[in-house]
A and B are shown apart, each in its own frame.
Chain A
Amino acid sequence: MTALDPREELAKRLGLDEIPPVRFDSTKDVLKRLADHDYLSDDAIASVCFLADRLAKPVLVEGPAGTGKTALARAVADAVGARLIRLQCYEGLDDSKALYEWNYRKQLLRIQAGRPEGDGTEDWEQLEEDIFGEEFLLTRPLLEAITATDPVVLLIDEVDRVELETEALLLEILSEYQVSIPELGTVRAKQIPMVFLTSNNTRELSEALKRRCLYLYIGYPSVERERDIILSRVPGITTTLAEQIAQVVRSLRTLDLKKAPSVAETLDWARTLVVLGRSEIGDEDAAETLHILLKYQTDIERATKELLGRSKTGA
């Protein structure tokens, strides 16, 4: 007795005619195709993406801000040629914004428009059936991802911002790839979408949510990887400069700062230095451009002191 392949099992449950083809051949394939779309991943990232496809499970991506969590979802969507559907979470998000909503206005219009016709006693049953049809349903990102027939990647961004209770609304879609609408019944996915959830870890996510997902922690990249990222994203930069930048940034991240520089800020800094025509970083350049990397005055002061050994520059 052999267990069913997870994808096969899911396809059967959803009642799909055929099992959707796998998206990636191997982790090497993931690495390469993501790199083709300007996203330099590493072993862990590639493994999890590969696994997410094979096991047909959502991926929960955690890590500090600006390490490329959202970019990963975008890159994967590009790499597999899928449409990216994004649900930006915020406090107060509810099912009418995430899943679906009845179009009250249109329903009201429909009811009012129906009245004058005939003797004003329109068949209520018929009307009810009519106004709770799909025509009056506003699909929101989650339902859209489920009902899409073309390949999609669903990104649920910053899921830690919603309240604990609202999280529950995601559970059905994450484990079963279906949505239950009381008036319409259960809507099952027409294909198996890839799902990414990102979290900045401002609060603990519920066990139920974590259990349904694969977990990927994206920390700050190693010096080598950051250097490669700079090289691939900043045109016209030399390897020495990229290496130096990566080292400075690592150095800054070990300091006790309010906000450590993110990869995005590193790239901004690299671009600035290229525009300024520098081929390596001296003390002066660093002192003058640190404010691109660091966003708090106290951080800048501390960094200048630690890295350059001076208390405060003129500016």
Chain B
Amino acid sequence: MLNLLGDFIGELRAAGIPISMSEHVDSAKAMEVIDLSDRSLVKNSLAATLVKDGDHMPVFNTAFEVFFSTRSWDAASEFMDDVDTDEMQREGAAGATGPGQSRGEGGGASSSLSAQELAELLFRALRDGDREALRLAADESVTRYAGMEPGRPVGGTYYLYRTLRNLDLENLEQRLTQGSSDDDQLAQRLAREEARARIEVLKAEIERVIRERLVEDRGSEALAKSVRKPLPEDLDVMHANRDEMAQLERALRPLSRKLAVRLARRRRRRRRGPVDLRHTVRRSLSTGGVPIDLRFKPPHPAKPEIFVIADISGSVASFARFTLHLVHAISSQFSKVRSFVFVDGLDEVTQLFEGVDDPAETVARINVEADVIAFDGHSDYGRALLSFHDRFAKDVTRRSTILILGDARNNYHQAHAEVIADLKYRAKAVYWLNPEPTAYWNSGDSIVNQYAPYCEKVIECRTLRQLEQFVGELA
């Protein structure tokens, strides 16, 4: 058990969850005081001692499924039986030598199902919320449709896709909703959502079955590596797929809120103001006129002024969206935030954010409403910067900090680095945030190097974690 626990913790650490030595010890202690045959208790205990952040739970769950799969959990004899019947089913399905008669001999009742019967079984299991039947049906569907090939180093996404495609979930969902023919809007919606929720349960079940079989095939550690996913804050913003994007969006909101709270507190606490005589004397009344408890006036440190200039051409658009969102979400921490977006033309979008509670909505509108394309719609940093300089340079003062977001892929246009040089002279600081990995800088048409000498710093900013850190230091 201790070895298994060690391996498991190794995997969690590899996935990015920070686990200290003392937490490792705690989890081992927990294993000593609980009933190890209760799988869910083991899972909850490990989660309570090892994972200290709600956002890390999905990663933990996946790793747990892989390392402590249900099958390896069951008593050894049952385990063997299970595999045996499975083996037979698989052979029955694959080696159809005789004309259609070998299938029925498989032994288990479930293996004799036809495609319709399987669909019916699934439907009934879903409709009645029958967990046991659902498990059986999921198992059978995987056997039938996934077409798993032993030894292939995959994470199972493809098997999942193949199984689901064959099950015709849309039809299932429709049948599940049919029961209520109410014309009440609300009732209809509820029925639809209930059906969808149940289908999700089925999907999760099928995924679990596939994982289990993969574990049997390749062992926990090998599989863990294939199914490992980065934590939301470590996702690469530029290359996120749609699911990951949704994850990022979800992570951004609490992140910006936390950042705002932290900055506000830091500002208030950083230095105390002068002694507040009136308040101190009032307090001293309760100690007989002795001023034991000094009171201070709250401090008023100056807030910085921010200019954000963001490239929103296709390649880096999502990164710009996140940064704009984050900066505006904490705009109360700055005395002023002005935002500009460009592709080959430049437009100010500050007014779009005004009077809006939720920056996410505005960010979505920018792409449509901002007038950023002057010529061919390929990024032209030189032209955009010139345009900024012409129109807005007079507003840049010693209190302004300028952030430029983009990969500096200039499509071989002129760089006009002298603009940055002048801005640096006028402003407090110029920062360049580059969403590309450092290794790619200055390759191809990327000209970060030409701008870099005039910037305070050029920062690689690929993940939310990096972004948060930078913005936190800025305020």
Contacts and interface: CB of A to CB of B under 8 A. Distances in A.
Q: Do A and B come from the same complex?
A: yes
Contact of B186 (A50, A57, A214, A307): A307
A281 B18 CA distance: 46
A278 B336 CA distance: 52
A37 to B, nearest CB: 21
B26 interface: yes
B288 A51 contact: no
A196 B45 CA distance: 16
Interface string B274-307: 0000000000001110101000000000000000
Interface in A14-60: 26-27, 43-44, 47-48, 50-51, 54-55, 57, 59-60
Interface in A158-192: 163
Contacts of B292: 104
Contacts of A71: none
Nearest to B190: A247
A202 B263 CA distance: 12
Contacts of B45: 47-48, 51
A5 B262 CA distance: 40
> Which residue of A47, A204, A286, A310 has the most chain B CB atoms within 10 A of its CB atom?
A47
A114 interface: no
B265 A248 contact: no
Contacts of B54: 62-63, 201, 217, 219
A213 B51 CA distance: 11
Contacts of B251: none
A63 B288 CA distance: 46
B287 A104 contact: yes
B90 to A, nearest CB: 33
Q: 3 shortest A-B CB distances, which residue pairs? A: A47-B44, A210-B52, A217-B54
A6 B22 contact: no
B189 A307 contact: yes
A234 interface: no
B269 interface: yes
Contact of A248 (B51, B190, B286): B190
Given A48-B48, A247-B194, A281 B186 contact: yes
Contacts, number: 120
Contact of A27 (B22, B26, B41): B41
Interface of B: 18, 20, 22-23, 26, 29-30, 32-35, 38, 40-41, 44-45, 47-49, 51-54, 57, 184-187, 189-190, 193-194, 197, 254, 257-258, 261-262, 265, 269, 286-288, 290, 292, 357-358
A207 interface: yes
A244 interface: yes
Contacts of B22: 211
B258 A203 contact: yes
A211 B265 contact: no
A91 B265 CA distance: 9
Given A105-B286, A251-B193, A309-B185, 12 more contacts: A27-B41, A48-B44, A50-B34, A51-B30, A54-B30, A55-B29, A214-B49, A215-B51, A215-B53, A248-B186, A258-B358, A307-B185
Contacts of B186: 248, 281-283, 286, 307-308
B289 to A, nearest CB: 10
Nearest to B262: A203
Contacts of B40: 43, 47
B399 to A, nearest CB: 28
A215 B288 CA distance: 47
A202 B258 contact: yes
Contacts of B184: 282-283
Contacts of A219: 54
B257 A202 contact: yes
Nearest to A250: B193
Contacts of A51: 30, 33-34, 44-45, 48-49
